[in-house]
Chain A
Amino acid sequence: MLRGSSAVAIDNERNKHPSDVIAAASAARARRSGRVGLATASRSTSDPHPAEMATHELHPNDTLTTLKMESENLKAKLEEERAKLHDVELHQVAEKIEALGQFVMKTRRTLKGHGNKVLCMDWCKDKRRIVSSSQDGKVIVWDAFTTNKEHAVTMPCTWVMACAYAPSGCAVACGGLDNKCSVYPLSLDKNENLAAKKKSVAMHTNYLSACSFTNSDMQILTSSGDGTCALWDVESGQLLQSFHGHGADVLCLDLAPSETGNTFVSGGCDKKANVWDMRSGQCIQSFETHESDINSVRYYPSGDAFASGSDDATCRLYDLRADREVAIYSKESIIFGASSVDFSLSGRLLFGGYNDYTINVWDVLKGNRVSILFGHENRVSTLRVSPDGTAFCSGSWDHTLRIWA
């Protein structure tokens, strides 16, 4: 940029008024990054437009523009239908309940031992053990209560972005840039190398972003940067069901706590949150109100709703029966994205870990922020409430995990 420009020209550049520069820059950025839509994004490359290539496969009467128009019309109609039954806002209904009092939560344990950014964690059903994974490929199982490390595994890849504890407490699953999800049975023989018993279960064509065991040790649900989610049989590594529908990387998922236990929700870089039927592989509901990537989704304890955290610095609540977004949790002073969210046991509180190193605690019903927790020295990347609701754990790029209560 400085090449060939005279020093005077540089001077003039530097002295421009900030708001002019911002306006010009945002316009340029919008054109470049294609916030206008997927089509624009792909058009910015010099390769032949993928849509042009794809049109040959469509019915001769459908052109790209008519499809797009139909899609837009349907979307508008859908919003109309959703709005018809929306007769009241959540905070209005919540006016009659008492406001929450002064909220005090402190760090009760700090788990040090990872040599690099902590990316993911999960609780064991015994309410005190956790598994955590980090950028340097290490997966550690801790007794968070005593802060003792009980197992450690070194994965052959870096950026282990997903890890999960098996319901029985006898195994952990993890994966990341290796595009796989592997299950490690936890052995108590100190001499045994855990890595030796590793079982490769899931195979994706891009990084693994999240994984979760279903009700047993035998099945794992995964989401990946390749835009799909998948259900796998652990024993055989067989793909039981795959879920297609996201238009970009899928970043998170959560299983529904419902009676029939057959659905889950996923969130992705296409700003959509999709609810899936595990049995048929169909997407049964879809929500698109976020303005940026959805980093985390979590069901409300009753299973009738779910919350999401996004790079657009908001957390939102979606009701599944009303089929719409029913609350937005945001504040002007919060400018960084939310990386992970979870509910307290009663669903009254929503904890959000943010990229500005803080944790914000929201009153789910009234919509206001109850507390802000400081402590981490880098972005909070993962956050889970313990199975009995007595505490929650947060993991951060500052290499530590903290237990708050």
Chain B
Amino acid sequence: MDTISTAENHTEMEQVIVAMQDPDLGIKMKNQRLLITVIPHAMTGNDIVEWLMKKYSIMEEEALHVGDLLVRHGYIYPLKEPRNLVLRPDESPYRFQTPYFWSSQQWPASELDYAIYLTKKNIRKQGQLIDYEKENYNLLHKRINHTWDFVVMQAKEQLRASKQRRKADRIVLECQEQAYWLINRPPVECLTPRLSQRDRGKQSNTKCEHSSRMCPITHITKRTLVRVSGLAFQDGRGVEHLKKALGRSRVKSSICLESFIKYSEQYFSHDPMMHGCPPSNPWITDDITHWALNTNTVSTPTKLRVERWSFRFMELLSDPLGRLKFMEYLEKEFSAENLCFWEACEDIRHGENSRIPQKVSWIPHRQFLAPGASKWVNVDSKTMEKTLEGLRRPNRFVMDDAQMHIYFLMKKDSYPRYLKSDLYKNLLVKAIAPQETKRSVFPFMRRHRHSSPNPALVAQALEEDGKAKRLGSPRITSPATSP
């Protein structure tokens, strides 16, 4: 179907296979008995798993997984039950597929080759092919009827040559060929081996899985530009870019890496996967208390949450509750206009494009920047000049400089003072610190999993609420609790 090489993982798999066959360090192969014939150079499923475990220092489960992948991709094939492409960690015999038949080899498994193979089998078995092979045989007979003479001739020729071999060799070659075609023309109903161990009811689309080892379409389109892009054009721009990159300033690794250690340590107790989640992780115990305690409208925040606001200014601002509490503090200090200004600028930056001119014209100018404005903010003269100039041609980024100036002002001044304030300290003292619950006394008791209001529903209700208020009709509403 597709002829694009999917060499990406084949090199790695092939390296493993070659290592396995190393005369000194590879798997020790022996002769295996198959019915009355002796097959040379075979190994057991156990041998494979043990060798992988030793070579890569991994546990049995992972070794079984890797070995299974090698079987599924046709590098190793089973001698007993050849149609079941699965690695069994027992005495079942396996053999390495000859490199000629490796999936990564460039020759496409064409219809002609498949026809020859099926014809050979048909002749040998005197017409007794299995269902899906019979179907394919008949289909091919119709489709490439014009070359059928050639097909039959090749098939007969190959059968004749094989009769001249020793029986053991002949069986080996037949097994290799069979394994190859099982990978390249799998029966459509064939379940992925892993599935057959568990969910037999599920029919997966293995055709797509096998026919290219990855999405055919993605692979084609993934490579589109590599062929098309003009190198010279690339390099012309690339050189400019590299020159700029050379000029940039860098920080010493020791300083940068130290900061990762610090960050991870600081957030350690806040990371539910590292440290647990008071009172319990909702996904594990089905108890949503943790979420209920951390909504945006809760009256008393948790200790961890309040602590987190002290880590960095952005943590405080990005938590709606944190921002609310910060605003309360600023109002007491008569410097709330800074935060309001920052919020207005955010609104411009992230709001609808069409409303920018309107927002820009009256919010910053009237409210914040013009001298004597009701919420006048303290921006330095240079930034003020630049901003006013930009306001003549309003765009999304026109308030950026002023916004950043105010942001850093708050960060350096108001924020540290807030953390030392009584308001904040009180929050910490009153904060809830729920106990981590032990495993439930009745571990088999299933909690009812409560559903929560869809945020879209909440937003819709608020909107309708707003509409109702504007229309003047009284309405009793419950506070929107977003989970």
Contacts and interface: CB of A to CB of B under 8 A. Distances in A.
B132 interface: no
A300 B264 CA distance: 10
A10 to B, nearest CB: 8
Contacts of B263: 300-302, 346-347
A90 B230 contact: no
A170 B456 contact: yes
B226 A247 contact: yes
A51 B264 contact: no
Contacts, number: 406
Interface string A44-69: 01000011011101100010100110
Interface residues of A, number: 162
Interface in B1-53: 5, 7-9, 11-14, 16-18, 21, 52
B2 to A, nearest CB: 15
A331 interface: yes
Contacts of B99: 16, 18, 21-22, 25
A391 B236 CA distance: 46
B9 A323 contact: no
Task: Sort A-B residue pairs by CB-CB distance and give the 8 closest, nearest first.
Answer: A169-B455, A7-B161, A21-B99, A346-B267, A216-B350, A346-B271, A74-B242, A333-B56
Given A71-B242, A81-B250, A319 B257 contact: yes
Contacts of B204: 377-378, 398-399
Given A225-B222, A269-B225, A186 B456 contact: yes
Nearest to B100: A14
A85 B251 contact: yes
Given A249-B222, A321-B256, A335-B66, A405 B283 contact: yes
B346 A245 contact: no
A38 to B, nearest CB: 5
Contacts of B252: 85, 87, 322
A259 B313 contact: yes
B455 A129 contact: yes
A11 B161 contact: yes
B451 A14 contact: no
A88 interface: yes
Given A129-B454, A322-B253, A337-B9, 8 more contacts: A105-B273, A145-B449, A177-B217, A206-B224, A333-B63, A335-B16, A345-B272, A378-B192
Nearest to A358: B65
A336 B239 CA distance: 34
Contact of B209 (A14, A96, A326, A397): A397
B226 A97 contact: no
Interface in B290-329: 290-291, 294, 313-314
A286 B240 CA distance: 13
A207 interface: yes
A193 interface: no
A7 B291 CA distance: 71
A170 B112 CA distance: 55
Contacts of B266: 346
A42 B227 contact: yes
Contact of B404 (A67, A260, A323, A332): A260
A16 B452 CA distance: 65
Given A321-B250, A389-B273, A126 B482 contact: yes
Contacts of B450: 146
A300 B260 CA distance: 9
A355 interface: yes
19 contacts: A8-B161, A13-B100, A22-B18, A57-B233, A68-B235, A71-B238, A90-B257, A145-B288, A159-B218, A168-B455, A170-B456, A259-B313, A300-B260, A311-B9, A322-B250, A333-B63, A336-B9, A346-B263, A347-B264
Nearest to B157: A7
B63 to A, nearest CB: 8
Interface residues of B, number: 139
Judged by DSSP, the binding face of B is helix
A178 interface: no
A311 B8 contact: yes
Interface stretch (B82-90, B102-110, B138-146, B182-190): B102-110
B277 interface: yes
A78 B7 contact: no
Given A128-B452, A304-B259, A78 B354 contact: no
A150 B99 CA distance: 51
Contacts of B313: 259
B459 A170 contact: yes
Contacts of B226: 34, 38, 41-42, 247-248, 269-270
B173 A58 contact: no
Contacts of B69: 335-336, 356
Given A1-B107, A88-B257, A219-B350, A390 B277 contact: yes
Contacts of A321: 250-251, 255-256
A344 B173 CA distance: 51
B195 interface: yes
A345 B271 contact: yes
B264 A364 contact: yes
Contact of B5 (A32, A117, A150): A32
Contact of B232 (A51, A85, A86, A97): A51
Nearest to B108: A1
Contacts of A197: none
B241 interface: yes
Interface string B271-284: 11110010001111
Nearest to B290: A390
A216 B455 contact: no
A111 interface: no
